[in-house]
Each structure stands twice: as structure tokens, then as C-alpha cells.
Amino acid sequence: SLPHPPILYFPGAGSKELGPKMYASLSPRKESRGMCYAATIAINVALLGMVLLAFNFSGSRNVELAPSMTTRPMMRDVVARARVGGVDIPNRKRVETSLQSIYGIGKATASSILYSTGVENKRVYELEEEELTKLRAEVDKYTTEGDLRRQIRQDIARLIDIQCFRGKRHQAGLPCRGQNTKNNARTRKKNRHVKI
């Protein structure tokens, strides 16, 4: 059976509400209902076909896409990852953020590198080869990656060798900048097992 609409108004009936019983008495017979459904479907299909034909023959092949609908450049057209300072920096991020993936370069250093080279803070895949060369030359002026790690290790070893306070704290695996260790310092003490 047909679904019953909540309220029906007919202008000729003096805008009276028709309840379920009156709606059922007004509904056509079952045979004519099927014909109504078939006619409705046929009309919808015909209208859809007309719209498609009108779209195909209206010269829509020459329509240009709006700038917002243009696609991003394909990854095949650009370098997969730019190599700066011996590290493959992320390609889809902006230059200032990508430079921070190099060990020893933080936010302040990355922004100062951009300022001194004059490179715009755009996506890495949009950079020209000249701009990448400028960035590589500027990053090479800083101590980064393996050299910086080695320097930090040597500094700690020197403090331990001369047995100063900081060296002893490094040796004991405790904080060496004056923090309290009675309650906290979990990060430095996580591998220590206190024997009583």
C-alpha cells in the first residue's frame, strides 16, 4: 500500500485536512497505481536522457576548469624527496617545517636560514633547483646530524673524565641541572634499580 502522508490539503475542499480513511478512499485502484509508477519512472528516465544529451552537445568539451578544480601536480613530475644536509626532508610540508626534520635545526634556526637565503616558505616540491642549492649551502654552515651527535657525546665524555659535578651526574644517570630528585626525575631514573 502507498505510504500515508501526514497531512494533505486540497484547495477545492476548503483546505480541510484529509485523514487516513479519506486518503485511502481517494487513492486509485491497484492496477492504475502500477501504471502511475511506471509512467513516473519513464518520465524521469526521459528527462535524465535529455539532460545528458544537452550536456554532450552543448560544446562542454571546451569548458575550462575553475582554478579550485585543478589537480595537484603529480608526484612523478617532482622530485620524490629533496636532500638537504645529508637528510631527505619531507616533500609535502613547507620549507621551514621540513628543515626541522634535520637533527640540530629547530624552529628559530630554520626561520633564520630562510631569512638569510631569501627563499620563500613554500612547499618543498615547489622549490627550484637554485633555491635548493642555496638551502644546502646555508645548512652546511651549521653543525648537524652525525657531527652534532658526536660532539655532544665527546662533551659528556670530557665532563665524566674530569669528574666534575655534571660529569658525576651524567655517570650516575641523574639530572645535572639542579632539579630535585626526591620525588620526580623519573625520565633519568627509569633504568636505575635501587638496592637496599
Q: Residues 4-21: pLDDT tens digits?
A: 544 444 444 444 555 555
Strand partners, 111: none
- What are 26's three cell numbers? 481517494
Residues of the chain above pLDDT 70, percent: 67
Is the model's pLDDT at 164 over the cut of 60?
A: yes
Q: 132 and 114 in contact (C-beta within 8 Å)?
A: no
Give the tens place of pLDDT for each residue, 38-83: 888 888 888 888 888 877 765 555 555 555 545 555 444 455 678 8
Those residues whose C-beta lies under 8 Å from the C-beta of residue 168, and which sit 6 or more positions away, are 160
Burial of 105 (0-12, 13-18, 19+ CB in 10 A): buried
> Considering the entire predicted model, what is its pTM?
0.53
Helix (H) or strand (E) holding 87: strand 87-89
Q: What does the alpha-carbon distance between residue 192 and residue 87 come to, in Å, rounded to a whole number?
A: 35
Q: What does the alpha-carbon distance between residue 104 and residue 98 come to, in Å, rounded to a whole number?
A: 13
